Chain A
Amino acid sequence: MFYIHHISCISPQGSGPVDNLFRAVEPKYEGIPGNVLRRMSKSVRMGVGASLPLLQWSPDGILIGTGYGGMEDSVKFLKQIIEYEEGVLTPGPFVQSTANAIASQIGLFNHNKGYNTTYVHRGLAFESALIDAAMLVKEHPGNSYLVGGVDEISGHNYRFEQAEGWYKKEDFAGGDLYAADSPGSIAGEGAALFLLNDSPAGALARVIGIATLRGENEDAFRAALHLFLDRHLPDGKKPDLLLSGENGDSRALKWYTICEALLGLDVAVARFKHLCGEYPTAAAFALWLACTLPLKGSDHQTILIYNNYKFSQHSLILLEKFL
């Protein structure tokens, strides 16, 4: 499909959960002027900040997936509306609240007049951007694209999802996320961006296939997983590693168990949400992680990322990681 050449990530890695949240460890954003930085929402800040190291390769287009979009600014503006009874309002939060603010601010920074788009399909927003990028690379040989997944923990979204039971009610101080036999996960956030094109020379990894599936039918999931592996791995070959999106929610575990059972015991399993927490575009963090994993005794390794978002949105990303 395409080759990943450069990667950049802002994530909660290394910080551990505080108050049941995995908050991103943000850099100083030295490349962003202070007055511009102050006006940015956190997701725009993380998205633009993570893009800066990749802009030197002059991408031909920018594609962002974000599940929450500009929820925090939306609610900020909404509060103005209600509290000032639709009077004279400041438009800043309204302009920032549009989900395409991340991709368009990166475009502004990079004076990039190329392809620019934003996917907001909840837990499959990042995968949608990847599928679009795979088509672009095929349609425009030689072009490079900047693709990423960005989400912030917004206070309001967090409270809504907490009320819906998506996060753990008990205190989680950073023990074993996967051992907790209780419903709900721990919220996370982050930005992971990739510079990709059709050139194998010097690439970190090659993405071989991407698939998305919606629904909670176990047989349909098994069939889709079978089909995906058969299509992309010859002769019943198995990936070397499953990077599993298991998130500590006892109710979601069955999907990961099905995936592991179907792959068999000889496929190693690694998990990643104890590093980044749960959020709609967490698969972008997983892809970043896959690109950084050290190889042992081989010059390449095939990695399958399976992620499940709120039970019904499934995604599969198969890649080959090079030395």
Chain B
Amino acid sequence: MSRVFITGMGIISAVGASLAENRSALRAGKGGVTLCDRLPSRYAGILPFGKVGAGTDELNEKFKIADPGITRTTLLALHAFDDAISDARLTEAALSDPGTALIGATTVGGMCLTDELYRDTSNPCEGSAFLSSYDCASVHLYLQSRYKMQGFTTTINTACSSSANAIQFGARLIKNGLARKAIVGGTDSLAKFTINGFNALQILSSELCRPFDRDRAGLNLGEGAAFLVLEGEEALAGAGGGAAAGEGAAAGKKIYAELTGYCNTNDAYHPSALSLAGDGPYLAMEGALRSARLSAADIDFINTHGTATENNDEAESRAMVRLFGKPPVFVSTKSYTGHTLGASGAIEAVYSILSLAHQELYASLNFEQSIPGIGLRPIPAYKKAALRHVMSNSFGFGGNCTSLIFSNTR
């Protein structure tokens, strides 16, 4: 089975509209969660959110879009997708090759148009521009049309692990010979719908979220998108004349990392909470190690799911202790971006790969005291580190758990 390499990345989040801006915020330990007032919700200015700086009008203008049916969720995806394909220097021909797949993930989709949807449910009229925009598939159907892509395209929704599953699925298409390249990722925008959903569950913090802290009081919602370009050995050989990663790089093709392990499991415990022992997370991390043929001691760093809810951080901590004994250094970058739901798996995969590619670790923000009885402490400050294999965790409602492992190719 072919090895799978990451050759391009694009990202937009509360800490920046490009890969460089995101990295620079992470290095500086500068989070993007604020009390922003430009939000379509009465909680604007009351609760902190990780909002992307660019407004919807600005994004429409950047991409010259006049169709009101193109939602903010789609615009964020488009921004990250466009950056990822430029980063990987994919040509129009490569994009429309039947061997180039598009696997996207979102949980909000067009539901960010909460008020429009309400209006349409009360009185659907033939003139509404939004009727076919509300579902999740609308995002990737738009990207597929815009870039004239002919390869296999689909949309995944496994709640907060959605885009980690998109990455895994894209890699498996390549390994099974069903695609040569796959552009994979996820997107979600801040919506009245999700803000009120998480608020009703009483897991939104009124302060900046504090992942893994004893006094953590819930999550901050965020928005954003990230896409990664995955290429198999065959595609790289075609591009550069050498199958191995090093040779591809020598031929001018940038290679950030190799996706070496992945595993999808279910916690099968509760619709909106993890089992306290973290069975699903444990099995996902353990399965990812097995698929990468690595042992626990090989993992140098973990980008945790780390939502800062009472439930997640305890279950994830217990699962890490169970698997690793003494877990490797870890961070929750949700302290920078907020919880970006369906986008978080891809955003955090990008951050994990940045750590690997630059051999550096970013500080986990807002942590003071460890959880009693567990005692784990996330990375306190930026530092350089020798990293070979890193893990990225994503867990979601419905017990959907996925862990990915990225490895250095140098």
Chain A residues positioned under 8 Å from B264 (CB to CB): 115-117
B216 nearest CB across to chain A (Å): 20
Cβ-defined partner of B157 (8 Å) among A80, A114, A118: A118
Chain B residues positioned under 8 Å from A117 (CB to CB): 156, 158, 165, 169, 264, 400
CA distance A79 to B137 in the complex (A): 23
CA distance A265 to B166 in the complex (A): 42
> Is there a chain A Cβ closer than 8 Å to B79's Cβ?
no
Cβ-defined partner of A214 (8 Å) among B115, B144, B269, B280: B144
Chain A residues positioned under 8 Å from B196 (CB to CB): 77, 80-81, 86, 89, 94
Cβ B266 vs Cβ A113 within 8 A: yes
Q: Mark B167-199, 1 if CB is under 8 A from A, else 0.
A: 001001100101000000000000011011101
> Is there a chain A Cβ closer than 8 Å to B397's Cβ?
yes
> Is there a chain A Cβ closer than 8 Å to B321's Cβ?
no
B341 nearest CB across to chain A (Å): 10
Cβ-defined partner of A159 (8 Å) among B124, B136, B192: B124
A184 nearest CB across to chain B (Å): 13
In chain B between 363 and 380, which residues have their CB closer than 8 angstroms to a CB of chain A? none
| Interface-located stretch among B147-155, B219-227, B238-246 | B147-155
| Interface-located stretch among A18-26, A131-139, A241-249 | A131-139
In chain B between 117 and 138, which residues have their CB closer than 8 angstroms to a CB of chain A? 117-118, 120-121, 124-126, 128, 131-132, 134-137
Chain A residues positioned under 8 Å from B154 (CB to CB): 119, 121, 124-125, 128
Cβ-defined partner of A120 (8 Å) among B125, B156, B280, B398: B156
Q: Mark A216-254, 1 if CB is under 8 A from B, else 0.
A: 000000000000000000000000000000000000000
| Interface-located stretch among A3-11, A103-111, A170-178 | A103-111
> Is there a chain B Cβ closer than 8 Å to A305's Cβ?
no
Cβ A160 vs Cβ B120 within 8 A: yes
Chain A residues positioned under 8 Å from B409 (CB to CB): none
A85 nearest CB across to chain B (Å): 7
Cβ B197 vs Cβ A115 within 8 A: no
> Is there a chain B Cβ closer than 8 Å to A146's Cβ?
no
Chain B residues positioned under 8 Å from A69 (CB to CB): 135-136, 157
Cβ A100 vs Cβ B42 within 8 A: no
Cβ B165 vs Cβ A131 within 8 A: no
Cβ A138 vs Cβ B399 within 8 A: no
Cβ B268 vs Cβ A110 within 8 A: yes
Cβ A160 vs Cβ B114 within 8 A: no
> Is there a chain A Cβ closer than 8 Å to B311's Cβ?
no
Chain A residues positioned under 8 Å from B150 (CB to CB): 214-215
Cβ A139 vs Cβ B271 within 8 A: no
Cβ B135 vs Cβ A135 within 8 A: no
Cβ B141 vs Cβ A122 within 8 A: yes
A17 nearest CB across to chain B (Å): 21
> Is there a chain A Cβ closer than 8 Å to B348's Cβ?
no
Cβ A132 vs Cβ B157 within 8 A: no
Cβ A95 vs Cβ B156 within 8 A: no
- Smallest CB-CB separation from A160: which chain B residue? B131
> Is there a chain A Cβ closer than 8 Å to B17's Cβ?
no
CA distance A113 to B281 in the complex (A): 10
When A74-B193, A107-B266 are in contact, do A101 and B271 touch as well, CB less than 8 Å?
A: yes
Cβ-defined partner of B397 (8 Å) among A98, A131, A139: A98
Cβ A98 vs Cβ B157 within 8 A: yes
14 further interface pairs, Cβ-Cβ under 8 Å (given A71-B135, A81-B193, A95-B397): A67-B135, A69-B136, A74-B193, A94-B200, A98-B397, A100-B159, A100-B400, A108-B269, A112-B266, A120-B157, A121-B153, A132-B169, A159-B121, A162-B124
Question: Considering the complex of A and B, which 7 residue pairs feature the smallest CB-CB distances, nearest first?
Answer: A104-B398, A94-B197, A91-B200, A116-B266, A122-B137, A128-B154, A163-B124
A residues with CB within 8 A of B: 62, 67-69, 71, 74-75, 77-82, 85-86, 88-91, 94-101, 103-105, 107-108, 110-122, 124-125, 128, 131-132, 135, 138-139, 156, 159-165, 212, 214-215
CB<8 Å pairs between A and B, sample of 29 = A67-B137, A78-B193, A79-B118, A79-B121, A80-B196, A82-B115, A86-B42, A86-B43, A86-B192, A89-B200, A91-B201, A95-B201, A96-B271, A100-B159, A101-B271, A103-B398, A108-B268, A108-B271, A111-B268, A114-B266, A115-B265, A116-B266, A119-B155, A120-B135, A122-B137, A135-B173, A159-B124, A162-B124, A214-B153
